[in-house]
A = this chain, B = another copy of it.
C-alpha cells in the first residue's frame, strides 16, 4: 500500500514540476544506496505513464572507500535485473580534489555531474534522474542558512536544473526505506555518510534528529517545502536583475564594467544580484558569497570615488562612476596553503 503511495507521489512530482514528458529518454544515476536503488525501481513505470523511457543506469565509482568495487558490482547487477544498459566509469576523486584544491565532497560532485552529462550524450538521454529526497532538501536548506548563503542559497536543491531532474524530491528517506523493504529489495549503506566531521552528516545525524524531537517530526517537510518559495522569489528577482543589468553592465574579455550611478539607483535586492552574477563570472570555481557583494556595494555607495578590493579570483576597482571587475590568475605562492585547507 505504502509503496504504491510512493509511485503515485513521484508521478505527481513529475507532473507538477514538469520534470519530463512524452518522448523523453531518462538516464538514472545510481550509487547503490537506498535512494537511488528506489529511484531505479520506481522510475520505469512512472516514465511509461508519461510516454517516456529509461535508457540506462549510470554509476561513477569514486574509488573513495574499500567497498567501492562492491557498490559498482551491486549497481551492475541492478541494471541487469531491470534489463537496462549499464554505464560505468571510475574516477580518482581524492586526486581530483587535491588538484582542484577542493573538498572531497565538492570534487566528487563536479566529477560526478560531468560523468553524468557525458553518459547522457552517449546514451542519447534527454534527462538525467538523480535521487535527492525531501530529507536532502531539508538538510540543504538548514546547511545553507548556517553557512550564510542568504536568499539565493535557501532556494535549495532545484528539482530541475539543466539536464538533471530529481523525481524523489517530495519523498522522505523513511518512505524510500519502507518501499524497499515492502518490495523485498536490498541496498548498500555508505559508511562515509556517517562521518559527522562532514557538516552535512552532522546536520543529518545529529541536528535534524534533535529538531524532530523538539520541533515536531514533520520538521524536514517544513524545511523542504520552503525551498520552492525561495526559488520562486529567486527566479523572479534574477530575471529582473538580468534585464536591468543589460543597461548597466559591459562585458569585455576578462573584465566587466558597471555604472556606479545606475547600480546604486536600483533596489538593493536587484543591485546585489547584479553584482553577485558579475563576481561569480570572475571567480571561476571559487566561492562568492553575500559578504563579497556587500564589500563591492560599500565601494559603490561610498563617498570615495577611487578604491579597490581583492575578491576571489578578481580585483574590483572603482574609478569615479565606473566599477570594474578584472579576473586575476591564482597566486601560485598561495596554492600550498589552499590545497592544505581544501582537503
Q: Which residues of A contact B (CB under 8 A)?
A: 141-142, 145-151, 154, 199, 202, 206-207, 210-211, 214-215, 219, 222-223, 225-226, 229-230, 232-233, 235-237, 239, 267-270, 272, 290
Contact = CB atoms under 8 A, between A and B. Distances in A.
6 shortest interchain CB distances as A-B pairs = A236-B269, A148-B222, A236-B267, A232-B268, A150-B229, A232-B269
Given A148-B222, A150-B226, A215 B233 contact: no
Given A154-B154, A267-B236, A270-B236, A146 B229 contact: no
A210 B211 CA distance: 12
A222 to B, nearest CB: 4
Contacts of A148: 222-223, 225-226
9 contacts: A150-B230, A151-B230, A151-B233, A199-B215, A232-B269, A233-B237, A235-B267, A235-B269, A236-B268
* Chain B CB within 10 Å, residue with most, of A151, A210, A230, A272: A151
Given A236-B267, A237-B237, A269-B235, A141 B145 contact: yes
Given A151-B154, A235-B269, A236-B237, 17 more contacts: A145-B145, A146-B215, A146-B223, A148-B223, A148-B225, A150-B230, A151-B230, A202-B215, A207-B210, A229-B290, A232-B267, A232-B269, A233-B233, A236-B268, A236-B269, A236-B270, A237-B237
A9 to B, nearest CB: 17
B269 A233 contact: yes
Contacts of A199: 215
Nearest to A149: B226
Contacts of A215: 146, 199, 202
Given A214-B202, A229-B290, A235-B267, A219 B146 contact: yes
A222 B290 contact: no
